[in-house]
Amino acid sequence: MIWQIMKKQGLTLLRNPVQLLLLVGLPIILIAILGTALAGTMNGEPSAIDVKIAVVEHGDEEEQVNRFMNSIENENALPPEAVEGTQASIDGLMPVRTLKEDVFGNDDLENMVDVHEAAPSEHDELLNDDTYTAVIEVPENFSYDMLEYIVLDKPVQPELKISRNETQEIGGSIVKGIIQQYQEQLTLGTFLSKNGMNMGAVELDEESITGDTTSVDQKSPVTAKAYYAVGMVVMNVLFLASTIGSMAFLEKKIHVFDRVILGNMSRWVYFTGVLLSGMLLSFLHLLIVYGFAWLFFGVSWPDIMAFFTVTLAYAMAVGGIAVLLTAISYRFNSELITNFFSGIIVTIMAFIGGSFFPIGETSEFFRKIGNFTPNGAGMSAYLTILRGDGIPEVWHHVLFLGIFAMVAIILAALSFPKRGMSA
């Protein structure tokens, strides 16, 4: 008789194509959308950020450098050998050209940063142009004053004037960081030069390090599609529990449960049928959606035995939720709890469990709380398997799911109405 109840639950679900589409089709669509939209962020790829910079110079740098060299030669400000050394390294003493060509124009930034050289007369127009991320204004005699600061130890260091576009916060922060790093490197170079030190003195000589170099974390990374495949599946299968609870309550309303009781059949037969149908349908739901994820999104499982173990444990937990919702709705003769679970509780559990985004990576508190939800524990176990681990690394999640299922079943048994309370 238990099998007949399970069969009836399955046929009822199959005869509702809209419900089937929501349960199976929705997670597949969400995996495709979220996995594609957030692939760059989840896979550690850089975002497509375009930074447009205008450089406005109020003077000719080459003329300033020549004027500086003439001044130190004619005024005997430095010994002859120092003048010769400065002359030999003059190409590296042009700060504006270095900033434009070597900093903004290096290989790492050339695809991101577009530098436009502008005349001083364009300055005000550039400030009102929202397409520019920042406008760098080079004051008059900047290079000359910088050479005096570097070579002649003048006390005042000249500064660039940077105007950032407030509507492009990310790009503006990037420009600020680049300028700060450039300034630090320039200051370091000046210090080493003044103290007769070579840049190699502060650089790490990797060839001098002996021994083997190993990676600390050699586990396989989880792709965006794999992450959201897990996240959407563990969330949407919870809706199956509320669906089974709703179908069971409908059977109460049309007196199916009463006929079971009148047929001198134990209420525990019906209870067990709902429980096992919840487990079996949840297990099949997980396999079907994960099968689609494997065929169309390439989500494969390194340890199949660990995958089936977690899937079975999670299906037991979902079956426990289904029979608990059924028992509570029968006890109070209301579908309010089932609707509240599917409308509110599932969303909260999905958020805490990390289905929408990896909240556990930003907060240790939420990570621990998430693992005390069935979907969070299941998701953590699945992601651990995807990274290359096996059953020994996920056994505590499996144990939690088993305990959760048992607690839900016991609470459901205590809440399930006795004979004479079904009406």
pTM for this entry: 0.57
Distance, in Å, from the CA atom of 290 to the CA atom of 391, rounded to the nearest integer, reads 19
Closest listed residue to residue 323, CA positions, set 373, 278, 259? 278
Alpha helices in 254-386 (DSSP H): 256-262, 267-297, 304-332, 336-340, 346-353, 364-370, 374-386
- In angstroms, the CA 118 to CA 316 distance is 68
pLDDT of 421 reads 47
* Helix-helix angle 2-14:224-253, to 10 degrees: 110
Name the residue type at position 370: G
Nearest 5 degrees, angle CA 72-CA 74-CA 80?
60
Provide φ and ψ at 273, rounded to 5°.
-65, -45
Strands (DSSP E) found in 119-274: 134-138, 161-164
DSSP 38: T
Helices (H) and strands (E) in the chain, counts: 19, 4
CB atoms within 10 A of CB 323: 30
| 367 three-class SS | helix
Strands 134-138 and 161-164, sheet pairing: antiparallel
Give me the pLDDT at residue 310, please: 94
Query: How many C-beta atoms lie closer than 10 Å to residue 131's C-beta?
Result: 12
CA distances from 49 to 162, 169, 170, 335, 349 (A): 20, 11, 8, 50, 34
144 phi, psi to nearest 5 deg: -65, -45
Per-residue pLDDT at 199: 47
**DSSP state for residue 58 in the 8-state scheme:** S
From the list 258, 248, 227, 179, the residue with the least C-alpha distance to 44 is 227
Query: Nearest-5° angle of CA 324, CA 278, CA 403?
Result: 60
Task: Provide the token pair at 311.
Answer: 């899937």
Residue 25 CB partners (closer than 8 Å, separation 6+) = none
Q: pLDDT tens digits for the chain (423 residues)?
A: 677 767 766 777 677 766 666 777 777 777 777 666 655 555 544 445 678 888 888 888 888 888 878 887 777 666 777 777 667 666 666 778 888 887 777 776 767 788 888 888 888 888 888 888 888 888 888 888 888 877 777 777 788 888 888 777 777 777 887 877 777 776 666 555 555 555 454 454 445 444 444 444 445 677 777 888 888 889 888 888 888 877 777 766 666 655 665 556 677 777 888 889 889 998 998 999 898 888 888 888 888 999 999 999 999 999 999 889 888 888 888 888 888 888 888 888 888 888 877 776 666 777 888 888 999 999 999 999 988 888 888 999 999 999 999 999 999 889 887 654 444
Task: Return the pLDDT at 25.
Answer: 72
